[in-house]
């Protein structure tokens, strides 16, 4: 099999086996072409994409405005190395990000990915505070290079390759379904989950804290939405310890949760905000943004990336933001609220649906085995194999969803934000049919 043979789903998969490192089990949908919410493989099959390449193509695959902006920039210049040759796409995007980010977040650094954004944010927090230690959350995901892997609170990403450099300490996640069902109220659980962070700082650090890093809604951890009041308490705890709050919005940013950034749902502004994924609708770009006071702690030579802030990616990002602000974010909030209600109804109809949760078009359903008790004796046992089956069955019916979460038992719905209610309705119909089928077999 070689690149000279005719391309089909099978030949592509075979060449992946031969020439690519075996790090991932694919969705079995080799990509020939994609447009808005539809992707097509090499055997002529079309799929409704309800996962957007892990939450990236927020304004739709091959969005016209984004493609035009990138093509126009390709005709001007492709590389400027953002600091070596100051250039307009970089300056325009930095200014635009200052306008759309909350509070007095104003100065940005551009890189190529989420993992780099997180690592840069940690360097800045250390430089600004003069402290070293970092607290992150169990179940959190912040990337796979050794620095961001240190913050990732899931040992399966580190197996046989850890410990990561300067491992962070981890506090329990605000995961009410499993760790807080006995709390009297959302507020009581918010207090308890925040107190756990304070406890970890007291017991696991020498109080030389540079930052607390959290995802405002956990993505890879399984679409975990924190209780109201929690993020505000985490910000207070960070500041009480002269540390910074870093909100990792790599997955939640750029409209995903029905606001431009997920922190806007809460009454807390982060000191540093990391971005990537949806920022340029698929072109590689990452960023972290801070107030001038914090950003100016960096001095010349403290940080750089050769490709960071690629002008084509920055031009695409500017067009992406225009598209999002043209109504997509507001519609995401509406469609998301509707989808949230529809998914919640599944909890009553199917015992295997233990929990449904999300914000905007970042939704998940947690599948369980109601006959077995889960970890630490709380909610029912995670049903990992069932979630994989549901994902495969949906794919065979022409719908791509994600399957993940800390226990790999969460079916994730993170479509392009341009998805229509008819397409969401079709997804729900097929999901119900699949759940009926798999539970009938049980």
Ligand X SMILES: Cc1ncc(COP(=O)(O)O)c(C=O)c1O
State the number of CA atoms in the 13 A half-sphere of 72 facing the CB: 12
Site map for ligand X, 184-223, x if CB under 6 A? -------------------------------x---xx---
Binder of ligand X out of 60, 114, 270, 391 (CB under 6 A) = 114
Of 34 and 247, CB closest to ligand X: 247
Of 6 and 24, CB closest to ligand X: 24
**Full DSSP string of 244-258:** EEEEE-TTTTTTTTS
- Which residues, numbered 220-249, are part of the site for ligand X (CB under 6 A)? 220, 248
Q: Cβ of residue 189: shortest distance to ligand X, in angstroms?
A: 22
- CA 241/CA 156 separation, integer angstroms: 30
Of 307 and 338, CB closest to ligand X: 307
Please choose, from the candidates 358, 402, 409, 407, the residue with its C-alpha nearest in 3D space to the C-alpha of residue 53. Answer: 402
Binder of ligand X out of 61, 142, 241, 265 (CB under 6 A) = 142
Find the part of the chain contacting ligand X (CB under 6 A) among 101-109, 135-143, 180-188, 343-351: 135-143
- CA 238/CA 224 separation, integer angstroms: 21
Q: How far is CA 112 from CA 12, 399, 406, 418, in A?
A: 27, 29, 26, 25
Largest Cα span, the chain:
64
Per CB under 6 A, does 113 bind ligand X? yes
Please choose, from the candidates 156, 177, 130, 145, the residue with its C-alpha nearest in 3D space to the C-alpha of residue 358. Answer: 177
Of 234 and 434, CB closest to ligand X: 234
Q: How many C-beta atoms lie closer than 10 Å to residue 195's C-beta?
A: 13
Of 128 and 141, CB closest to ligand X: 141
Q: How far is CA 431 from CA 24, 345, 353, 354, in A?
A: 25, 12, 12, 15
Of 42 and 413, CB closest to ligand X: 413
**Burial call 87-112: b when 16+ CB within 10 Å, e when fewer:** bebbeebbebbeebbbeebbbbbbbb
Q: Cβ of residue 311: shortest distance to ligand X, in angstroms?
A: 19
Site map for ligand X, 16-55, x if CB under 6 A? --------------------------------------x-
Q: Cβ of residue 251: shortest distance to ligand X, in angstroms?
A: 4
Of 54 and 346, CB closest to ligand X: 54
Measured over the CA atoms of residue 180, residue 186, residue 188 and residue 189, the dihedral's sign is: positive
- CA 384/CA 408 separation, integer angstroms: 5
Walk across the sheet containing 46-49 and list its strands. Answer: 33-35, 38-40, 46-49, 399-400
Angle in degrees, CA 173, 269, 359, rounded to 5? 55
* 427: its two tokens: 């997804």
Find the part of the chain contacting ligand X (CB under 6 A) among 108-116, 294-302, 385-393, 429-437: 108-116
Find the part of the chain contacting ligand X (CB under 6 A) among 11-19, 141-149, 173-181, 311-319: 141-149
Per CB under 6 A, does 256 bind ligand X? no
Per CB under 6 A, does 310 bind ligand X? no
Per CB under 6 A, does 276 bind ligand X? yes
Please name the residue that has the structure tokens 């002269």: 242
- Which residues, numbered 51-70, are part of the site for ligand X (CB under 6 A)? 54
Binder of ligand X out of 105, 224, 231, 250 (CB under 6 A) = 250
Find the part of the chain contacting ligand X (CB under 6 A) among 79-87, 112-120, 256-264, 409-417: 112-120
Q: Which helix (H) or strand (E) holds 319?
A: helix 311-323
Q: Cβ of residue 115: shortest distance to ligand X, in angstroms?
A: 3
- Which residues, numbered 349-368, are part of the site for ligand X (CB under 6 A)? none
Of 380 and 391, CB closest to ligand X: 391
Q: Cβ of residue 342: shortest distance to ligand X, in angstroms?
A: 25
Binding site for ligand X (CB under 6 A): 54, 113-115, 118, 141-143, 215, 219-220, 248, 250-251, 276
């Amino acid at each position: 099999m070689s690149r000279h043979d005719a391309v089909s789903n099978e030949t592509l998969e075979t060449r992946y086996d031969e020439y690519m490192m075996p790090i991932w089990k694919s969705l079995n949908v080799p990509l020939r072409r994609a447009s808005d919410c539809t992707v097509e493989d090499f055997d002529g099959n079309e799929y409704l994409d309800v996962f957007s390449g892990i939450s990236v193509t927020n304004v739709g695959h091959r969005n016209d405005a984004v493609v035009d902006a990138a093509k126009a920039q390709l005709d001007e210049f492709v590389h400027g190395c953002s600091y070596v040759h100051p250039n307009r796409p970089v300056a325009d995007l930095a200014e635009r990000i200052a306008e759309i980010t909350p509070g007095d977040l104003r100065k940005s650094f551009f890189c190529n990915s989420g993992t780099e954004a997180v690592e840069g944010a940690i360097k800045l927090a250390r430089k600004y505070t003069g402290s070293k230690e970092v607290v992150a959350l169990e179940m959190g995901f912040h990337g796979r290079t050794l620095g961001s892997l240190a913050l990732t609170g899931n040992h399966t990403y580190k197996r046989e390759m850890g410990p990561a450099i300067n491992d962070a300490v981890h506090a329990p996640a605000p995961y009410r379904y499993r760790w807080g069902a006995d709390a009297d109220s959302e507020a009581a659980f918010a207090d308890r989950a925040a107190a756990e962070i304070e406890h970890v700082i007291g017991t696991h650090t020498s109080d030389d804290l540079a930052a607390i890093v959290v995802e405002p809604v956990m993505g890879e951890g399984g679409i975990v939405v924190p209780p109201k009041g929690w993020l505000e308490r985490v910000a207070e705890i960070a500041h009480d310890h002269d540390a910074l709050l870093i909100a990792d919005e790599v997955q939640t940013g750029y409209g995903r949760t029905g606001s431009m950034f997920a922190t806007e749902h809460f009454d807390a502004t982060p000191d540093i905000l990391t971005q990537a994924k949806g920022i340029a609708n698929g072109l590689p770009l990452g960023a972290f943004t801070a107030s001038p006071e914090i950003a100016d702690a960096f001095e010349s030579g403290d940080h750089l990336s050769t490709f960071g802030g690629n002008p084509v990616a920055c031009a695409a990002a500017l067009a992406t933001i225009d598209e999002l602000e043209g109504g997509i974010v507001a519609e995401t909030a509406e469609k998301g609220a509707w989808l949230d209600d529809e998914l919640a109804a599944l909890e009553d109809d199917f015992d295997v649906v233990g929990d449904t949760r999300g914000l905007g078009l970042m939704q998940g359903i947690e599948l369980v085995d109601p006959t077995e008790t889960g970890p630490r004796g709380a909610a029912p046992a995670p049903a990992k194999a069932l979630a994989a089956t549901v994902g495969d069955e949906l794919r065979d019916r022409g719908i791509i969803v994600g399957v993940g979460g800390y226990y790999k038992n969460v079916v994730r719905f993170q479509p392009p934000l341009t998805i229509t209610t008819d397409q969401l309705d079709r997804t729900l119909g097929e999901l119900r049919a699949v759940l009926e089928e798999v539970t009938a077999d049980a």
